[in-house]
Amino acid sequence: MNFRTLIFLFILIPITFFGIVATLLINLFDPTGNSFHKIAAWWGRLSAKLFGITIEVIGQENYNPDQHYLVISNHAGMADIPLLLSIMKLDLRFMAKEELGKIPLFGRALRQAGYVMIKRGQNRDALNSLFDAIEVLKKGHSLHIFPEGTRSATGELLPFKRGAFRVAQKGGAPVLPVTIIGSHLITPKKSLKINKGKITVIIDKPILPLSCSSIEELMAACSNVITTNFNRYRNN
């Protein structure tokens, strides 16, 4: 634990709580979840400022804010979600682990905003989560999925899983590959410390699912883009 952890506990958490309460009230009049997204994006920008996180974004020109995408990225730190909310100019929802959906008030706000809670494994609940994710895309919203399925402790890339790319094919949305570098140093896994530092985010050109003959080919194409950008920019 350090000074920034105390900022998180005594400043950001209270702000988050009041934001969630406000969101639940707003959702009574705006069931689309768009208001939640605007508040969440503001919360992401505030978090970066409070913790002294500098974000370099490369490739903002590679996507159209008026379109919707399945956004995929590697996952190395707890800061990944707020930083993506703060920089992506999309009406963005996330696929999140089911434990977040069980948090009182917070979980309800996420569900009302159109976030998809996923249960890990190969059971029926996990399959239903993929169907829910497909529906988010069909409704015209952008959705983010971490295809690695868990955070990397070292920042190195982990193997991708097929679920995200099945959603892409069934949902019919372009896949937007995003590479995140440096977030594992901001919020190290299995640690309460929060560090300041720089995170680099590389947004590459969308990949159309129809341009690939199979889920495996789509997964390989996206993995190749993210791996290439990771190796290119990791030492910058």
CATH code assigned at 30:
3.40.1130.10
Tell me what pLDDT residue 11 has: 81
> Domain span at residue 114?
3-233
Give the three-state DSSP class for 52: coil
User: Do the bridges between strand 197-203 and strand 175-181 make them parallel or antiparallel, or are there none, so unpaired?
Assistant: antiparallel
Alpha-carbon span 73 to 180, nearest angstrom: 7
The answer to whether 91 touches 141, Cβ cutoff 8 Å, is yes
Residue 76: CB atoms within 10 Å:
28
Domains identified in the chain, total number: 1
Q: Is the pLDDT of residue 99 over 80?
A: yes
Alpha-carbon span 63 to 163, nearest angstrom: 23
- Residue 13 C-beta-side C-alpha neighbours within 13 Å: 7
Residue 124: CB atoms within 10 Å:
9
Q: Is the pLDDT of residue 122 over 70?
A: no
Buried b (16+ CB within 10 A) or exposed e, 160-171: bbebbbbbbbbb
Q: What percent of the chain has pLDDT over 90?
A: 48
What global pTM score does this model have? 0.91
The string of pLDDT tens digits covering residues 126-171 is 778 888 999 999 988 999 999 998 888 888 999 999 989 999 999 9
- Residue 169 C-beta-side C-alpha neighbours within 13 Å: 15
**Positive/negative CA dihedral, 229, 234, 235, 236:** positive
